[in-house]
Amino acid sequence: MATKYERAANDLRRRIRSGEWGPGEQLPAETTLAAHYGVNVTTLRNAIRVLKVEGLVESIHGKGNFVRAPRTLIERSPERYQWEKDRARLSEAERIGTGATEKDTGLRFEDLEFYAKYDDIVATNELSEVFGVPLGTKMLRRTFRTSSRHEDAPISLVTSYLVHAVVARNPALLDERNEPWPGGTQSQLWTIGIEVGSITDRIRTRPPSADEAEDLGIDPEGVATFVLQKISKDTEGQVVEVSTVVLPGDRTEFVNTTKLTPWETK
Amino acid sequence: MATKYERAANDLRRRIRSGEWGPGEQLPAETTLAAHYGVNVTTLRNAIRVLKVEGLVESIHGKGNFVRAPRTLIERSPERYQWEKDRARLSEAERIGTGATEKDTGLRFEDLEFYAKYDDIVATNELSEVFGVPLGTKMLRRTFRTSSRHEDAPISLVTSYLVHAVVARNPALLDERNEPWPGGTQSQLWTIGIEVGSITDRIRTRPPSADEAEDLGIDPEGVATFVLQKISKDTEGQVVEVSTVVLPGDRTEFVNTTKLTPWETK
DNA sequence: GAGTGGTCTAGACCACTGT
DNA sequence: CAGTGGTCTAGACCACTCC
């Protein structure tokens, strides 16, 4: 025999799935539901919490509980990297307004809002290891967030690391006011003679911290985040950039197509 | 001014991060913590819930609250598909005991436990669309779960769909007792003359349903799941298999390396 | 049985959203 | 203002773990 709140949650889940309340619609008030299931309001709230954790329901303080509506997905595929490379050496006019983010989101440059902040840090254990530089090496840390003008919440939170002495070869790369740089990081690296040869993505998922949930405009209960660690190497295999991207799990989809080599006909 | 439970949660988070309690260690009892922060036990439990949602803390009924320890990751990379294809036509002796799962997990065949169940269904809207077959076409649905013998919880929950009339060309493919089939699905398809030409992965993240959390042995609060939709096409571009894989987010990492084509030297 | 977290109640009061 | 969800209390009782 399940608990009271589980029984209420199961019934509410069934009713939502059956379409009794469609996406975006409001559920009856908690007091009403509590009376209907013959339980205390606190107990009914436990049932609602279960559905929130499952991502089925969203609460808005002062308004009510709502059936969560699916969000439009942003596809992200590793093809973006080759695409970016092909454009890295084009003229600025050709690069402008056609970044990888626009490609992912299908939004135009004018619809996107960028924020960039640069600062200097010293290499931690982890950074010195991936870059193969001594502990304490001066690094450039770049923090980006990209938002759609029509949604108030950022689409991604990016932290990028570069070896300071390397990027300093072009002083323009040390100034955050030059962001968004047309053509992106690969174009920036090209100005200091670096050609990116391969990029490795590592994708994990975890719940958002309180801050991230705030920044991404997601419900900490019920929506997870993707954490993408991207490591770029030059053509010699030397790590040239490492970045960490936090993406809202309710709006992001990674797509990857693998072409398999044909069998020899026999 | 934050609420009482938020202040308690913030302080506990800080103390955990500072190492006051290491990974896997037990926190003081809720009654003790409540007294320490001068709040009611119910309120203190709200603070603990925040940390559970963040994935920092795990509660075990009857034992206590514990700092969650990171789990060993299982890497999954699309190279597995090419690797599987290369082995699909080898002799059974060569295929046996070296499946893609073993490659992902690093575990040996003897350490893994398989469960397979086959049944027949009719194509839903979604299925008929991806396969390009009429609505209501008879499909073979295969449900798999793979577990490590040393952990009781499955590593993945897989649902795979095939067109029944196609696989029926080899009756052995209709019998679940032939699972685990050495060499996997690509080897099975080969027995009916199908060569897989490309595989597309779509990766999303979402909270687990109550059932999935149960099956995967994860905490529904604090651990998300990956949902991988895999579409295999033959060399003509015809969809031959669709499968959905649910993976525990606290143990899985997707890795993908993109090699970029070199710039022409000028 | 002692100690832990989990469920449930009843009710006071606060904070936010609409009109 | 009325109506909604959010916080907090005090206490009873249940369920699980370990000795």
Q: How far is CA B76 from CA A225, B100, B226, in A?
A: 18, 9, 12
Q: What is the mean pLDDT of residues B183-211?
A: 94
pLDDT greater than 90 at residue B193:
yes
Q: What is the pLDDT of residue A180?
A: 87
Helix or strand run (H / E) with residue B32: helix B30-37
A78, A206, A262 member nearest B256 (Cβ): A78
Q: What is the pLDDT of residue B152?
A: 66
Q: What is the pLDDT of residue A266?
A: 53
Rg (CA), chain A: 23
A contacts of B12 (beta carbons < 8 Å) = none
**Averaged pLDDT score across all residues of chain A:** 91
Beta bridge pairs of residue B65: B59
3-class DSSP state of A108: coil
Q: What is the pLDDT of residue A97?
A: 66
CB A62 within 8 A of CB A76: no
- Return the residue matching tokens 């323009």: A172
- Return the residue matching tokens 């975890």: A206
Determine how β-strand B138-148 pairs with β-strand B154-163.
antiparallel
Residues of chain A where predicted confidence (pLDDT) is lower than 70:
1, 97-98, 106, 150-152, 265-266
Q: What is the pLDDT of residue B27?
A: 97
3-class DSSP state of B120: strand
**Percent of chain B, pLDDT > 70?**
95
3-state secondary structure A149-218: CCCCCEEEEEEEEEEHHHHCCCHHHHCHHHCCCCCHHHHHHHCCCCCEEEEEEEEEEECCCHHHHHHHCC
A199 and B258 within 8 Å at the Cβ level: the answer is yes
Overall pTM surpassing 0.75 (yes/no): yes
**Structure-block tokens of residue B124:** 């839903």
Q: What is the pLDDT of residue B265?
A: 67
| Å between A253 CA and nearest CA of chain B | 5
| Å between A6 CA and nearest CA of chain B | 10
A206, A235, A252 member nearest B249 (Cβ): A206
Top-confidence residue, B124 or B148 = B124
Segment B150-177, tens digit of pLDDT: 766 788 999 999 999 999 999 999 999 9
For residue B5, give every residue at least 6 positions away whose Cβ sits within 8 Å of its Cβ, in sequence order, or none: B39, B43, B44, B46, B47, B50
CB A180 within 8 A of CB A147: no
Helix or strand run (H / E) with residue B67: strand B64-67
Segment B25-66, tens digit of pLDDT: 999 999 999 999 999 999 999 999 999 999 999 999 999 999
pLDDT greater than 80 at residue B94:
no
Q: What is the pLDDT of residue A86?
A: 92
3-class DSSP state of A257: strand
What angle in degrees, to the nearest 10, is found between the helix axes of A4-17 and A30-37? 110
For residue B223, give every residue at least 6 positions away whose Cβ sits within 8 Å of its Cβ, in sequence order, or none: A207, B55, B208, B213, B248, B249, B250
* Residues 97-116 of chain A whose Cβ lies under 8 A from any Cβ of chain B: none
Pick from A137, A196, A258: nearest CA to B81: A258
For residue A60, say whether its CB is under 7 Å from any atom of strand D.
yes
Nucleotide nearest to B41 (CA to C1'): D9
A contacts of B196 (beta carbons < 8 Å) = 260
CA atoms within 13 Å, Cβ hemisphere of A65: 22
* Residues 184-243 of chain B whose Cβ lies under 8 A from any Cβ of chain A: 195-210, 220-226, 235
